[in-house]
Amino acid sequence: MSDVCIVGVGIHPFGRTDGLSGIDQGVFAVRQALGDAGIDWPAIQFAYGGSDSAGNPDTMVDRLGLTGVQFINVRNGCAAGGSALFSAQMAIKSGEFDIGMAVGFDKHPRGAFNALPSEYNLPDWYGEAGYMITTQFFAAKIKRYMHEYGISPTSLGRVANKAFRNAVHAPHAWRREPVDIETILEAPMVSDPYTKFMFCSPAEGGVALILASEKKARELGKPIIRLKAATMRTRPPGSFEVFAPSLDVDRTPGTPRGSATRIASADAFRLAGIGPDDIDVAQLQDTEAGAEIMHMAENGFCKDGEQEAWLAEGRTEIRGQLPVNTDGGCLACGEPIGASGLRQVYENVVQLRGDGGGRQVPGNPKTAYTHVYGAPGVSAVTILER
């Protein structure tokens, strides 16, 4: 079975764009990706699109062209983009299609996400008790993790500080001003231990990726960037997840401790035939500073607790052992749900092409990893190789 390749990428800058709808931003990204691939819209044989609150992606055909193309909407929380990409690559792997698209966009209102208990098969009392407020969930989760593994508040600050520094060099990022670590740590508290600089914000933006079979990619004359693995998994029993904040009673040593991320990550490495030590650059879900820390371990890049030393020694910096969130991640870009997971892949394509400018990872990177996580406990991972 031949590899699936990414032959075109496009992005509408993230943040707040008054006067443009989410659909507008998605269409912008699609047209940019088509231009990057050197093709026109009628060449696209199928599309998968994700949006949480900005309309159905398949309505884009009114603007792009009424070609009769198969266009399927994907709604899967923060993992919508990763899920759209997973579906798109499967369509090509099946041999049914040669070239298609994964697209995601969103335009969220200002303020925190307003998830409803009924959308997640939860009783009304769950929301009335405040458990649907994700800032509180994330804070409770990292508090427990910090206690168990000796992670300091300074490490949370280091993650946010790195994000804003990296984003200075990312034209598509929203927050492009560096913030010193003292300001981050001393800022108003939102949910202990997180200050206001340690959370991402709901945002706007759009990303489109054009995928093709290797044969089609060679016909187009594009640089070969292979999608070696794309996995998407739901949570196993006993994991501690958004809207499922509980653990198994049996926490004895040696008890398997799974999560959607650990499953998706292990499957991705198996499919790609490589391990964590082979990855040159990684984009990890960082809806809040502690998520990046926990996900470093859940994705197999270090052991629980080792993040404290990794961050103090700068191992996740652009020039470090494993550069993480080179464009500032969700912390600096914000999170338009439909586009967020695809932004990570967009950034990795930029890095593998060597087009990162001031944020470019040195040493001619050849492998790149993305991980996105969302409610109610779903995770998607990709591994690219050139």
Average pLDDT, the chain: 92
In this predicted structure, the answer to whether residue 254 has a pLDDT above a threshold of 60 is no
pLDDT at 55: 79
Residue with tokens 């959607």: 260
Dist. CA 376–CA 141, nearest whole Å: 14
Dist. CA 112–CA 151, nearest whole Å: 26
pLDDT band at 286 (very low <50, low <70, confident <90, very high): very high
Identity (one letter) of the amino acid at 335? Answer: E
197 and 210 inside one domain: no
59 and 169 inside one domain: no
232 and 359 inside one domain: yes
The pLDDT of 289-315, averaged and rounded, is 97
Query: What are the tens digits of pLDDT across the range 163-190?
Result: 999 999 999 999 999 999 999 999 999 9
Other Cβ atoms less than 10 A from the Cβ of 363: the count is 10
The two tokens of residue 294 are 């926990």
Other Cβ atoms less than 10 A from the Cβ of 337: the count is 28
The pLDDT of 17-35, averaged and rounded, is 96
pLDDT band at 77 (very low <50, low <70, confident <90, very high): confident
The two tokens of residue 83 are 């899920």
Other Cβ atoms less than 10 A from the Cβ of 303: the count is 10
Contact (Cβ atoms closer than 8 angstroms) between residue 172 and residue 13: yes
pLDDT at 1: 62
Predicted TM-score (pTM) above 0.75:
yes
How many domains does one find in the chain? 2
Residue 117 falls inside a structural domain: no
Query: What are the tens digits of pLDDT across the range 326-342?
Result: 999 999 999 998 899 99
Residue numbers of the domain that contains 257: 138-201+228-385
Distances (CA, A) of 110 to 201, 284, 371: 8, 24, 25
The pLDDT of 248-271, averaged and rounded, is 77
180 and 215 inside one domain: no
Q: For the chain, how far is it from start to end, CA to CA, in angstroms?
A: 17
